Amino acid sequence: MTGLNVYETDDEKVEAIKSWWKENGTSVAGGLIIGLAAVFGWRAWQDHRESQAQEASAAFEQLVTTVESGNNDAARSQAGLLLEKHGDSAYGALTELMLARVEIAANQPQAARQALERAMTKAPEPGLAKVAALRLARLLIAQGDLAAAMAIITKEDQGGPFAADFAALRGDLALADGRVAEARADYERAISQGAANTALLQLKLENLPPAG
């Protein structure tokens, strides 16, 4: 037999416990305190993260409402605060996308371009980065910076769910560069692959000069 069972009387057991606690109690208490601190510290951290996520979500919803109202100055201010407090979260990239929308509406293409570039960098997952890349390439084409747009498309078009949308952009790029036959082929491919706004693409296709 080992441990407390070697003691035959209750008094002996009590004295043994007192003796053991005197020798080991400090380290045990310390371990318990550290363990409890770790548990409660982790819970506090989780609660803090949840609170921050809820705060960021509410702030982003408010930003969307402000952007849709057309109040560009207020939207810029709200976006700045959101980026300051939650720029490292997923809302950082989403806020940059909204900020780009504000700058485009305000006819500030360079500021929009910078916001989209930041969105690509901050995006927490590839899909969101692709959305930012598509918008950036579309902006560059509108600005006439075809080389920069082509560089974005070439780098970011890696097939997958966004292939059709990149094909549509290739069509826009080819048309802007006067390559009508390539534009037609790109638009047809984009439509067949299920790109967004297929009605608009079909209209673009129908308005192309006839093949000669």
Task: Give the tens place of pLDDT for each residue, 64-101.
Answer: 999 999 999 999 999 999 999 888 888 888 999 999 99
Q: What is the pLDDT of residue 179?
A: 94
Domain of residue 80 covers: 56-124
Residue 55 · residue 86 · CB < 8 Å: yes
Q: What is the pLDDT of residue 6?
A: 42
Confidence of residue 45 (pLDDT cuts 50, 70, 90): very low
Confidence of residue 212 (pLDDT cuts 50, 70, 90): low
Q: Residues 140, 119: one domain? A: no
Q: Residues 119, 140: one domain? A: no
Q: Residues 82, 120: one domain? A: yes
Q: Residues 112, 140: one domain? A: no
Residue 88 domain flag: yes
Distances (CA, A) of 19 to 1, 24, 26: 19, 9, 12
Residue 188 domain flag: yes
Higher pLDDT, 91 or 153: 153
Residue 27 domain flag: no
Residue 81 domain flag: yes
Quote the percentage of the chain above a pLDDT of 90.
Answer: 56
Residue 78 domain flag: yes
CATH number of the domain that 162 lies in? 1.25.40
Residue 31 domain flag: no
Tokens 């059709």 -> residue: 164
Of 31-40, 111-120, 173-182, minimum mean pLDDT range: 31-40
Q: Residues 61, 99: one domain? A: yes
Q: Please tell me whether residue 195 adopts helix, strand or coil conformation.
A: coil
pLDDT (average), residues 43-53: 59
Q: Residues 156, 112: one domain? A: no
Higher pLDDT, 7 or 171: 171
Distances (CA, A) of 29 to 33, 102, 143: 6, 58, 68
Q: What is the pLDDT of residue 1?
A: 42
Residue 191 · residue 201 · CB < 8 Å: yes
Q: What is the pLDDT of residue 35?
A: 62
CA–CA separation, 93 vs 118, rounded Å? 7
CA–CA separation, 163 vs 130, rounded Å? 10
| Tokens representing residue 25 in the block | 């109690």
Residue 28 domain flag: no
Higher pLDDT, 5 or 197: 197
Confirm whether pTM is higher than 0.85: no
122-150 pLDDT, tens digit per residue, is 888 888 899 999 999 999 999 999 999 99
Residue 110 domain flag: yes
Domain count, the chain: 2
Q: What is the pLDDT of residue 91?
A: 86
pLDDT (average), residues 3-12: 48
Q: Residues 157, 203: one domain? A: yes
Q: What is the pLDDT of residue 24?
A: 58
At CA 157, angle to CA 186 and CA 166, rounded to 5?
A: 35
Q: Residues 92, 140: one domain? A: no
Residue 183 · residue 168 · CB < 8 Å: no
Give the end of a domain, one of 78, 97, 124: 124
pLDDT (average), residues 49-72: 84
Which DSSP letter does residue 160 get? G
Q: Residues 120, 66: one domain? A: yes
Please report the sign of the dihedral spanned by the C-alpha atoms of residue 177, residue 182, residue 187, residue 193: negative
Give the end of a domain, one of 124, 155, 173: 124
Q: What is the pLDDT of residue 87?
A: 82
Asked if the model's pLDDT at residue 114 lies above 60, the reply is: yes
